[in-house]
């Protein structure tokens, strides 16, 4: 059975919730970002009908903010800008969590990532 971006988003959200409660801060932030990414990928691919590059099913992480700001016609510009800012912050937390082991990363950071993810999944 094929998996959809929304199913991926739900799975990553559940994983982030479990990881936050287990004090696995870095992994929680990583899963929180991916839950938000997956929800946005759904909106771009399914709702907005955006065609992905050959061989890709979703947007590149580096292009996500630009695509939010330019390719979500069913969302007001101010909401797109706010969503883009939130994704930018969540992406920074994810990069710190996944690729910068020397950066201190604690429960406060994981909870911030989880909160941003919840806002994106529920409000956008």
How large is the C-alpha radius of gyration of the chain?
Answer: 14
Res. 79: pLDDT tops 90: yes
- State the pLDDT at residue 2: 61
Tell me what pLDDT residue 106 has. 96
CATH number of the domain enclosing 49: 1.20.120.330
Per-residue pLDDT tens over the stretch 25-46: 999 999 999 999 999 999 999 8
Average pLDDT, the chain: 95
> How do the residues of the chain divide into helix, strand and coil, expressed in percent and rounded to 5?
75, 0, 25
The pLDDT tens digits of the residues spanning 86-122 come to 999 999 999 999 999 999 999 999 999 999 999 999 9
Structurally, the chain folds into a number of domains equal to 1
Distance of alpha carbon 91 from alpha carbon 48, whole angstroms: 22
Question: How many whole angstroms from its chain centre is CA 106?
Answer: 19
In terms of Cβ atoms closer than 10 Å to its own Cβ (0-12, 13-18, 19+), residue 1 is: exposed
Overall pTM surpassing 0.85 (yes/no):
yes
The string over 18-27, giving b where at least 16 C-beta atoms fall within 10 Å of a residue's C-beta and e elsewhere, is ebbeeebbbb
Per-residue pLDDT at 1: 55
Domain that holds residue 59: 5-123
């Amino acid at each position: 059975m094929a998996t959809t971006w929304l199913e991926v988003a739900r799975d990553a959200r559940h994983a982030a919730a479990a990881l936050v409660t287990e004090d696995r801060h870095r992994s929680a932030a990583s899963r929180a970002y991916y839950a938000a990414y997956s929800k946005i990928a759904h909106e771009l691919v399914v709702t907005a009908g955006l065609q992905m590059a050959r061989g890709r099913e979703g947007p590149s992480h580096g292009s996500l903010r630009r695509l939010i700001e330019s390719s979500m016609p069913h969302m007001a510009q101010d909401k797109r800008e706010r969503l883009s800012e939130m994704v930018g912050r969540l992406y920074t937390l994810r990069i710190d969590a996944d690729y910068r082991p020397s950066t201190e990363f604690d429960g406060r950071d994981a909870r911030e990532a989880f909160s941003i993810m919840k806002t994106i999944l529920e409000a956008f």
